[in-house]
Amino acid sequence: MPELPDILLYIHALEPRIVGRQVVRVRLASPFLLRSVDPPLVAVEGRTVVGLRRLGKRLIIEADHELFLVFHLMIAGRFRWKPPGTPIPGKVGLLALDFEHGALILTEAGSKRQASLYVVQGTEALAAHDPGGLEVLEIDLSTFGRAIRRDNHTLKRTLTDPHLFSGIGNAYSDEILHAARMSPFKQTASLTDEEIRRLYEAIRVTLSQWTARLQRDAGSDFPEKVTAFRVGMAVHGRYGQPCPDCGAPIQRIVYAANEANYCANCQTGGKLLADRSLSRLLKEDWPRTLEELEKKRTTRR
């Protein structure tokens, strides 16, 4: 799912292309995308795009007279910038916004249709789509500390809660926790002041650096490969590969529709984490440390 750096990358690419431009036509290929009826989607036709913004993990296109298109890309939704009049792809195409100089096409891979679009009128209606999470690059340390200590949950769950923090998801929470040298399952109630400061700094550095890097790499081109798995990430999507800092193999825990990737050596003192179902299945056979894991691998050979 596109997160804060990815949404800002789209905004970076779209601003010079569509801000100040008039929407000539809108083409809706999948009725499942549109989740609102008033105002109608065609209301955007003939209006000029006056701005773009991010609202959590949502990308907002603002047209004149406070008409907002609220896009939530979910896991597989992606934007494409194509020549004027480009047909919407048959299997994955959802929508096209036509401008005189190009077409902004929304696609979604896979069979599930999870991406959504709301058309809303006015800033009050737009505010209803805000999950309310704090903007982590704008708040100070004390505000961050109060939010972290509001409830007692795992760090992974807390960082990805859109009602607490805005724009952080599965991928960048992995990277943040590796940078902070903290376990994804560490409880927020156990954090010391020094650990909160370290986490706060890791969030700001990780998100800022990746935002700058993605925009620098894209340059003036439109990003065609917005993905949760980036070359240069330390742990996310790198299960079994060596940690860039210590060389230990990256570990992974899969739970529900999510996963946590981490370095046991850097983040958990060498201890291997296990989800509940895997622990119950393996019981005494579950290796507790990297050393035990390596012994089991050696024995199998």
Output the pLDDT for position 290: 56
CA distance linking residue 109 with residue 127, whole number of Å: 29
Q: Which CATH code fits 4-127? A: 3.20.190.10
Output the pLDDT for position 156: 96
Query: pLDDT at residue 296 above 50?
Result: no
Output the pLDDT for position 283: 45
CA distances from 139 to 21, 58, 88, 104, 146 (A): 33, 20, 41, 33, 11
CA distance linking residue 204 with residue 269, whole number of Å: 24
Query: ∠ CA(206), CA(142), CA(152), 5° rounding?
Result: 80
16-25, 32-41, 219-228, 284-293, range with the lowest pLDDT: 284-293
Query: Options 1.10.3720.10, 1.10.10.60, 1.10.8.50, 1.10.1030.10; which CATH number does 135-301 get?
Result: 1.10.8.50
φ, ψ for residue 199, nearest 5 deg = -65, -45
Output the pLDDT for position 258: 78
Domain residues of the chain, as ranges?
4-127, 135-301
Query: Which residues, 6+ apart, have CB-to-CB distance to 194 below 8 Å?
Result: none
Output the pLDDT for position 117: 98
Q: What is the DSSP string of 126-184?
A: HHTT----B-TTTS-HHHHHHHHTSS--BHHHHHT-TTTBSS--HHHHHHHHHHHT--T
Query: pLDDT at residue 17 above 60?
Result: yes
Q: To the nearest whole percent, how much of the chain has pLDDT over 70?
A: 90
Per-residue confidence band for 281, with pLDDT thresholds at 50, 70 and 90: very low
Question: Which neighbouring-strand residues pair with 83?
Answer: none
CA distance linking residue 285 with residue 211, whole number of Å: 42
Nearest to 96 by CA among 42, 50, 29: 29
DSSP E strand boundaries for 168-255: 251-255
Please say whether the beta carbons of 122 and 61 come within 8 A: no
pLDDT one-digit tens code per residue, 109-147? 988 889 999 999 999 999 999 999 999 999 999 999 999
Output the pLDDT for position 111: 83
DSSP character at residue 97: E
Query: pLDDT at residue 42 above 60?
Result: yes
Query: Which residues, 6+ apart, have CB-to-CB distance to 165 below 8 Å?
Result: 133, 134, 136, 147, 158, 159, 203
Query: pLDDT at residue 293 above 60?
Result: no
Query: ∠ CA(257), CA(259), CA(264), 5° rounding?
Result: 165
Output the pLDDT for position 292: 52
Query: pLDDT at residue 297 above 90?
Result: no
Mean pLDDT of the chain: 92
CA distance linking residue 93 with residue 109, whole number of Å: 9
SS3 13: helix
How many residues are given for the chain? Answer: 301
pLDDT one-digit tens code per residue, 212-229? 999 999 999 999 989 889
pLDDT one-digit tens code per residue, 148-179? 999 999 999 999 999 999 999 999 999 999 99
pLDDT one-digit tens code per residue, 46-70? 999 999 999 999 999 999 999 999 9
